[in-house]
Each structure stands twice: as structure tokens, then as C-alpha cells.
Amino acid sequence: MFVNATTLVVGGGIQVGISFIEYASRSDSGDVDFLFTVSRPIYDSFPTELQNDSRVHLFDVSPARILRGHKSRSVLKQLEREFRPDLIYTLGLPSYTRFRSPEVGRYTNPWEIFPTPLAWSSIPIHERITVFVKCQYRLFWARRASFFETQTEAAKSGIARRLNIPTSRIKVVPNAPNPIFFAAGNTADGMPPSNQVNIFCLAAAYRHKNLGIIPEVADCLKRLCPDKKFNFIITLPQRCRLTDEILEKSRRLGVSEMINNVGTLKLTECIHWYQKSDIILLPTLLEVFSATYVEAMAMQKPIITSDLDFARSVCGDAALYYDPQSAQAAAEAVMAIVSDGHLQAELVERGRIQLKTFPEPERKHQMIIEWLGELAQGHRY
């Protein structure tokens, strides 16, 4: 089996790729031979023994890059010819590569699956044409896959509708946090007695994550509770347009000291910041299934997020919801948790219960490998 994770270079997909490949690499399925092609962010998070595994091939340039990715696409096809897989499992569809073998793709980009007017409103007008063209380009490549994996029934319906394919070609496998989040757990017991509240906003630099609202939330909190120090921890590249916009808005509102950008994080670094945080805030406007939700539950942290269907379908009653267009409502949700120790504990307990509705990480990977094996039975190179 050829496992292709070369297009996972940012966001929660990196952690999904790491978790699956670590499991597959030590799988005792004697009748399955694996070949792994991975991006630099995934490779750098592997343990040393996996980095040195002869089955692992590192790609520094994503095949998604139209010009620079030409060599990567060529090398992928060369590896396919040499390995002769029964099928290719692409963890971040589309692969942008014309494979000869049947391709199974993990497809989770909400912009192609079920974009919403609210999400479109988060994008500046001058950028919307670019986003639309990119979506059409990705849909063109996604259609080349033979089968699809996604994380929710709603996404399954969206893929079938957008690609005009039968639902029998789509498998739903719910997300699960990497096992190391369970091992790390929570080092704190409720809100600390200090005057500082750390609010972790783990998200990549995507417009639909709605991170631009954070300076406004900070401004509202500064007025609601001037005696407390609120520290928003964001995880954006130090140099990108969205980072600059957020920092400029923070300066304009006089809340720069409340915004701490720690940059893009590796898996172990995420755990560190989860542990240092008191609240997890995800102001996103569009998701299929954010891994941040289940990671926060595993780390026993209270969650605040947008009152939208996708969030409720994952979190159930294990989150505090607010109107996604209101910074004031988000600030009031933060204050509700800060001022109510019972609510903090209740949300954490609900998170523990909600997490049990999703498969264990090992079981999730086993389900995928079993399904891929069934598909491979009917296909040969």
C-alpha cells in the first residue's frame, strides 16, 4: 500500500498524517507492505526510528505547487512504478498527481465540500475570485480519485453532490486525537489562582478560521474585566498577510499586549501550549471536523466555539457556543467560564463523555486499513 502524505503541510491534517503513519508503520498486518511519502512538517515530527525507516520518503516541496511541485509529482510517479501498489491512499486529497493505480483520498476541505455564505463573508472581496478558482482547480483533481474518506455524514453528502458520485464510493471515519494527547492529559485542576487567563487559539492561517475577530474579543474583555490579564495564544506564521492584519488591528485597538503569536507548532509543542492554557477558543466559520475539538477534550480543557452546525455535531454539549459574528458574545462566553468554576468542570466532564462517542485512535486507523484492504482485493496494478 502506497500512503501519500506529501500534500499535508499545514493545519490539523499534519497530525492526522503523523498518527496514521506511526500506526501503519508498526502494524502487524503481514500481508500488507507499506510505502510512505511524507511532507517536511510530518517528517520532522516523526520519532528518529521512523525518520530512518527505509519505507519513508521525504518530500520538501508539495506536489500541489504548480511549478515547483513538478519534480515532486515526477518522483511520486516513479515510486509508484517501482513499488507497484494495489492502491494509493492519499491523506490530503487532492494529490495533484496522475497515478496509474486506484487512488483513495481523505477529503476534508470544507470550501469544496459545503461552502457557506458566512464563510465567504470572511474573505475580502478582492480575494474571493482567487479562492473560487483554487476550489475549482482542487475539485478537478479530486475527481480523479476512485474512492473517498471523510469525517462526517454531512461531508459525505456534500462530496457526493459536488463530485456527482454515488455515496457508496465514500467512507465516513470520524476523527480522533493523536494518542499522545491522552498520555499528556491535563496538568491543572480548574482555572489557576493567578490573575492571567491563557486562551489558546490553535489554527492555521486560513480566512475561514475567523482569527481576525480575536483582537476585537480582546478589546471587549479589556472593557468587561480590566482587572484580569487575558493572553490570547495564536499559532500563525510570523510572516503572512493574516498575521500582519491581526497585529495591526491589535495595535489599533490597543490590545497588542494581549496577543501572543507563538508561530506554527509541531505536535509536541501543541501539547505544551494546551497544558499552559485555561480555555480553548476556536472562532472558525467553516469546518468538516477540526481536530482541535477532540484534542481539547483529551487535554481536559473547556472549549468556546462558534454556534454553527458543524461545531455542534462534533462537540455536542461539551462546548460553550456564541454567535460567530459577535466579538462581544465571544468575550461574554470567556467571562462565563472564568467566573464560574462549576461551569469549567462541567464542560471538561462533558468533553470526556463526548470523546467516548468517537473511535479510539488505534481503532480508527485499524478501520481505515481494513477498508483499504477490502478495496485492494478488487484491484491489482
Assess whether pLDDT exceeds 50 at residue 381.
no
Does the pLDDT value for residue 40 go beyond 90?
yes
Please say if the pLDDT value at position 16 is more than 60. Answer: yes
CA-to-CA distance for 37 and 55, rounded, in angstroms? 8
Largest separation between any pair of C-alpha atoms in the chain: 67
Q: What is the pLDDT of residues 235-263, one digit of tens each?
A: 999 989 999 999 999 999 999 999 999 99
192-202 pLDDT, tens digit per residue, is 556 899 999 99
> Can you give the pLDDT at residue 34?
93
The answer to whether 251 touches 239, Cβ cutoff 8 Å, is: no
For the four alpha carbons of 113, 200, 323 and 133, in that order, the dihedral sign comes to: negative
Residue 268 is predicted with a pLDDT of 85
Is the dihedral angle over the CA atoms 223, 228, 234, 239 positive or is it negative? Answer: positive
Which one, of 45, 86, 101, 50, lies nearest residue 264 by Cα? 45
Q: What is the pLDDT of residue 314?
A: 93
Closest CA to 5 of 80, 74, 62: 62
pLDDT: which is higher, 4 or 363: 4
Strand order in the sheet with 320-322: 259-261, 229-234, 196-201, 279-282, 303-306, 320-322
H/E element, 23: helix 13-25
pLDDT digits 0-9 by tens, 206-221: 989 999 999 999 999 9
C-alpha cell recorded at residue 126: 478582492
For the segment 282-308, what is each residue's pLDDT rounded down to a tens digit? Answer: 999 999 998 899 999 999 999 999 999
CATH of domain 179-355: 3.40.50.2000
Class for domain 2-176+361-377, per CATH?
A: alpha beta
**3-class DSSP state of 160:** helix
Query: Is the pLDDT confidence value at 189 over 60?
Result: no
| pLDDT tens, position by position, 112-156 | 999 889 999 888 898 899 999 999 999 999 999 999 999 999 999
Q: Give percent above pLDDT 90 in the chain.
A: 80
CA distance 352 to 320: 15
CA distance 90 to 69: 16
- Look at the chain and count its residues: 381
Q: Please provide the average confidence, as pLDDT, over all residues in the chain.
A: 92
Answer whether 2-176+361-377 and 179-355 agree in fold: yes
Q: Are 68 and 37 in contact (CB under 8 A)?
A: no
Residue 227 backbone dihedrals phi, psi, to 5 degrees? -85, -15
Burial of 32 (0-12, 13-18, 19+ CB in 10 A): middle
> Amino acid identity, residue 197?
V
Chain position carrying cell 472562532: 283
> Do residues 57 and 36 make contact, with C-beta atoms less than 8 angstroms apart?
yes
Average pLDDT over residues 340-353: 95
3 state DSSP class of 155: helix
Q: pLDDT (tens digit, 9 = 90+) per residue, 50-97?
A: 999 999 999 999 999 999 999 999 999 999 999 999 999 999 999 999
Residues 40 and 203 sit within 8 Å (Cβ to Cβ):
no
Q: What is the value of pTM for the model shown?
A: 0.85
Q: Which residues contact 186 (CB under 8 A, 6 or more apart)?
A: 275, 299, 300, 301, 348
Question: Cα–Cα–Cα angle for 58, 92, 351, nearest 5°?
Answer: 110
Mean predicted confidence (pLDDT) in 252-281: 94
Contact 254, 210 (CB under 8 A): no
Indicate the helix (H) or strand (E) that contains 356: none
Q: Write down the domain spans for the chain.
A: 2-176+361-377, 179-355
Alpha carbon distance 294, 374 (integer Å): 28
Supply φ then ψ for residue 60, to 5 degrees.
-80, -20
